[in-house]
Amino acid sequence: MAAFPVRGLVEVLALTAVYLLAARVALSLSAEKSHICPVWLPSGVALGGLLLLGVSRWPAVALGAGVVAYAMDVTPGVGLSVVLGSTLEAVLAALLFRRMEGARELHRVRDVVGLGAGAGLGALVGAGLGTLGLVQGGVVPAALWGPSGWLWWMADLLGMVLVTPVLFLRRPRRAERSWEALLLLSLTAAVCVGVFAFPRPGSGAAHALTFLLFPLTAWAALGFGLRGGALSSLTVALAAIAGTARELGPFFMADLPHRGLVVLQLFIGITALTGLLLAAARAERRQAVELLELLATTVRAVHEGVLICEVREPGVLNTVFANEALCALVGRRREELVGTAPGELLASGDGGDRQRLLEALREERSLRAEVALTRPDGTRVWSEMQLSPVRANGEAVTHFVATHRDVTATKELQARLVAAERVAAVGTLAAGVGHEINNPLAYLLINLDAAQRDLAAQGTAAPEGVRDALSCVREAQEGAERIRLIVRDLQVFSREGAPERGLVDLNALVPPAVRVVLHALRTRARLVEDFGPVPRVLGSEARLGQVLLNLLVNALQAIPEGDPGRHEVRVRTGTDASGHARVEVEDTGGGIPPDVLPRIFDPFFTTKGSAEGTGLGLAICQQIVRTHGGELRVHSVPGQGATFTLLLPPAPVQSAGSPQAPSPRGAGASRRAAVASGRRGRVLILDDEPRLAQSMRLLLEPDHDVVAVTRGEDALARVAGGESFDVVLCDLQMPQMDGIAVYRRLQQEAPALVSRVVFISGGASSPEARAFMETVANPVLEKPVRPDVLLATVEAVLEAGPPESRQAATLEVAARGAVGGTRRG
């Protein structure tokens, strides 16, 4: 608490000392026969001190003014009026300058105006009180109160305008352009000496030379800012005052000294204000230029494209600026963009974008929209544009600023996501359609088999019409078999949920993938299949099938249409030197360029058009293969095609003697094998499709006793009623009570019958059903079930004794009927 009063006292005493020193200098420059000073320097010291140290240091002004009044030997009344006027003058000027939010740096024109206004108002109060005291004390006649007040006011005003800015100056960081400053100082000193020292008083030559000081003051202000303007003005003012006080120079008038003094004050005031205003204007311009350079640098460096257009006339724009980001976005140089209409960047086919842009320009409003911009090569880029009007004068729109953000990747990603969703929807639809087709296809196959069997039983002596009908039935069987394979392939490639892991035979996986693309491939190339011994791999049949299908699609897309005899797509399987399973898909297309080859597995990278490629296929294939512990390689020679090699590690345990899927056997041989034991069993058929249940009943009835029901409740009621069955053929998916519920009820009510259940599935559509099929020990036949597989499965269950033997028998049937749609849960 004690530190502040001591510091305040020191500052007051220091300010008083400077005030008295300025008063001594001012009085030394006064006229020889009077104490009239054209510029009262202590007024500037007082204002500058209060602005630097605070208005609370006003006692220093009062003390200094009192000492000066005492030294001038005036009456106490006059001295009191001078002290009061000087103090109020400085305090009011300081408060008004701060009220106008003036900055001591005087780097704005408004700061100079604030300083002049505050000094003028404060000097008016000080001059009024001072001259009033002189009149009351009899020092100045009442008739001269006005002229005296003017001289006093101008002297105090000029003192504040000249001295206060000098006190605001800070120590320069380093000497800048010292040679220019020395030259300016020398010229100013020479002109001041020539104007105020040698010419005869009032001569025309002196008046003419005076005008040389204005460009020098302007040079100082514009070249060196506030420092140059303030020091130059103070130097010229002191030289003019000194010369006039010595009765030299253009402002001394021997006959009218007061008039000459007024002219001197006006000259000093105009020179000082001109210098300060020019310095402030220079500072403002410099700040504006720095701000513009900063903005320009920022705009040039931002990642978003910026386009500035000038409004030449309503609705007509002319580009005046474009940053590097916009030039890179549209593929043009800045020189090509400046001077053109911004609408030329819009893609020609997007009339809607042009219409919205024209409406926004006509209505002078902002616009936010996604627009398509065109490059010189004709390609399009999508941009999110923000158009904003600029009202430079507050009313009329003079410019429009448009920012462009490249959203091409986002648009492509959205399109690819839509395509992926469409593919997923098609897969879901295919799975549903396949399930619905399986039921009628199942009894169609069974009925065709029965018809073929009955017609074939008539032998070679059958009428020609019967033989023709038999031929038609066999062709229908082939067509139905093709439908069954197509539906099965769709179900393999559209399986949802977690991929099922199991032993996969790649030789058996290739044909379904080939059948999917065979129709499109025929118009481009011939297909060559070269199968070799391949170890089974542990993985997902659906996911690996997806990889093979994608590789085949890539191969056919690499070959142009119209010359299938020249090109071929070769699928080769085998085992590499390390024992890995190998599948190669080779084409004779144009090959892959060397600069593209390293990027083909990058997500969203594609060289195909948007109608053919999304850039995701190979990336997904690579990911699938890596999750299986394998590797996907590519080798290509431009102009000679490409070869994709899929390598997968063999399964840890290969089934000893696991047979490959055989070709389908004839129905007659199947029936002979199925009824080889001659045992007649009792079979319960449970399927919600009446026609399928009826077809299976007709197929089995010649050799077994069959009961067919369509509801799970009816099947359980028969079992609960005491009926015994050797085999239960149960549909997995049924309304109300499905096969899973029937199985669990049998576990509780008839556990001996559980091992005799054979499930028939059209495809598991729910996670619960998929989990059940993966864990249940009973055999699962996939619809549509071929007649020979159904007969063989029933026979295997009848022949099996204990559960272990029965399981081994059903596994053998599953292996024999893999092509026919038998699988294990």
Q: Which CATH number fits domain 497-653: 3.30.2040.10, 3.30.565.10, 3.40.47.10, 3.90.550.10?
A: 3.30.565.10
- Top mean pLDDT of 185-199, 271-285, 445-459 is at 271-285
Residue 789, φ and ψ in degrees, nearest 5: -70, -40
Residue type, 126: G
Closest Cα partner for 184 from 231, 144, 226, 143?
A: 231
- Residue 89: pLDDT band (50, 70, 90) is very high
pLDDT confidence of residue 819: 36
pLDDT confidence of residue 778: 87
CA atoms of 786 and 473, how far apart (whole Å): 15
252-274 burial code (b ≥16 CB/10 A, e <16): bbeeebeebbbbbbebbbebbbb
Residues facing residue 381 across a β-bridge: 373
pLDDT confidence of residue 555: 87
pLDDT confidence of residue 298: 72
CA atoms of 314 and 158, how far apart (whole Å): 51
As a whole number, mean pLDDT of residues 629-635 equals 90
Residue predicted with more confidence, 393 or 380: 380
> How many other C-beta atoms are found inside a 10 Å radius of the C-beta of residue 34?
10
CA atoms of 769 and 825, how far apart (whole Å): 10
Residue 729, φ and ψ in degrees, nearest 5: -95, 110
pLDDT confidence of residue 197: 78
Statement: residue 668 has pLDDT above 50: no
Statement: residue 802 has pLDDT above 80: no
As a whole number, mean pLDDT of residues 125-130 equals 88
As a whole number, mean pLDDT of residues 479-505 equals 64
Residue type, 237: A
Statement: residue 485 has pLDDT above 70: no
Residues facing residue 308 across a β-bridge: 321, 401
Residues facing residue 537 across a β-bridge: 504
Residue predicted with more confidence, 405 or 446: 405
CA atoms of 628 and 647, how far apart (whole Å): 10
For the chain, give the mean pLDDT: 79
As a whole number, mean pLDDT of residues 41-48 equals 93
User: Which strand (E) or helix (H) includes residue 122?
Assistant: helix 109-136
The fold of the 667-824 domain, in CATH, is Rossmann fold (3.40.50)
Statement: residue 354 has pLDDT above 60: yes
SS3 (DSSP) at 346: strand
SS3 (DSSP) at 10: helix
- Let me know: does 540 contact 532? Beta carbons within 8 Å: no
Residue 320's contacts (CB-CB under 8 Å, 6 or more residues apart) are 308, 309, 310, 338, 399
User: Which strand (E) or helix (H) includes residue 822?
Assistant: strand 822-824
Is the peptide bond preceding residue 659 cis, with omega within 30 degrees of 0? Answer: no
- Residue 654: pLDDT band (50, 70, 90) is low
Statement: residue 821 has pLDDT above 70: no
CA atoms of 207 and 220, how far apart (whole Å): 21
What are the sequence ranges of the domains in the chain? 1-168, 174-301, 302-406, 497-653, 667-824
- Let me know: does 159 contact 44? Beta carbons within 8 Å: yes
Q: How is residue 753 annotated by DSSP? A: G
Read off the pTM: 0.48
As given in the structure block, the two tokens for residue 425 are: 């929807």
Closest Cα partner for 750 from 780, 768, 730?
A: 730
pLDDT confidence of residue 427: 59
pLDDT confidence of residue 416: 66
As a whole number, mean pLDDT of residues 244-251 equals 77
- Residue 706: pLDDT band (50, 70, 90) is very high
- Residue 673: pLDDT band (50, 70, 90) is very low
Sheet containing 526-530: give its strands across.
526-530, 568-575, 581-587, 642-648, 631-636
Tell me the per-residue pLDDT of 107-116, one tens digit each, with 9 for 90 and over: 888 998 999 9
Residue type, 631: E
The fold of the 1-168 domain, in CATH, is Arp2/3 complex 21 kDa subunit ARPC3 (1.10.1760)
As given in the structure block, the two tokens for residue 495 are: 């399986």
Residue 487's contacts (CB-CB under 8 Å, 6 or more residues apart) are 434, 437, 438, 441, 784
The fold of the 302-406 domain, in CATH, is Beta-Lactamase (3.30.450)
Residue predicted with more confidence, 394 or 143: 143
Residue predicted with more confidence, 601 or 277: 277
Q: For 635-764, where are the alpha helices, taking DSSP H only?
A: 667-674, 690-700, 712-720, 739-749
Torsion, Cα of 540, 546, 548, 552 (10° steps): 170
Residue predicted with more confidence, 606 or 131: 131
Burial of 222 (0-12, 13-18, 19+ CB in 10 A): middle
- Residue 816: pLDDT band (50, 70, 90) is very low
Residues facing residue 316 across a β-bridge: 313
Is the peptide bond preceding residue 172 cis, with omega within 30 degrees of 0? Answer: no
The pLDDT > 90 percentage for the chain reads: 18
Residue predicted with more confidence, 624 or 254: 624
As given in the structure block, the two tokens for residue 354 are: 């042009």
Tell me the per-residue pLDDT of 753-779, one tens digit each, with 9 for 90 and over: 998 999 988 766 667 777 888 788 888
Residue type, 661: A
